[in-house]
Amino acid sequence: MLKIEKWLDNKILRKVSQKLKDNELKTYFKLAQEMKKYIKNPKHWWVWLAAPQVGYNIRLIIVSLLKDREDENYKTVVMFNPEILEFSVEKECGEEWCLSVPNKKGTVERPKDIKLVYQDEKWTLKSLMLSWLSARIVQHEVDHLNWILFTDRL
């Protein structure tokens, strides 16, 4: 059972997460599956989660790649060692909230499009171009890996 760490009592949320090495995939594969199961549980209905939010100082995020807030056909992806390579010049504002910062919402300006690389559950290197809501979700979670909370961007 995963415990969601809150920002006031978690030092891991304020540390840069460590990149995973090739030989560590098996060690964290089960954690990735538990995190994915957590956010896909209709009781929680969440679309993003980063390892620091559950007490692990590693570069692992689980994200649901939504086209918009009404999208019911989205894919949930496990990303080990995600790295955003490019940000668009065009920006957009959107409302954000976070499991680790309960009862707070705010409008955050972020680049509209991103290009990123990550390793999937089979340790295959993948590249994606994302826009709009999917780009926002990934940026929010990568921020967690870099000790940044959405409240820092308000």
**DSSP string for residues in the chain:** ---PPPGGG-SGGGSBPBPPPGGGHHHHHHHHHHHHHHHH-TTT--SEEEGGGGT--BSEEEEEE-SSTT-SS-EEEEEEEEEEEEE-S-EEEEEEEETTEEEEEEEEEEESEEEEEEE-TT--EEEEEEEHHHHHHHHHHHHHHBT--GGGG-
Q: Verify whether residue 141 is a known catalytic residue.
A: yes
Query: Which residue among the candidates 83, 90, 121, 141 is catalytic per the annotation?
Result: 141
Annotated active-site positions, please? 141
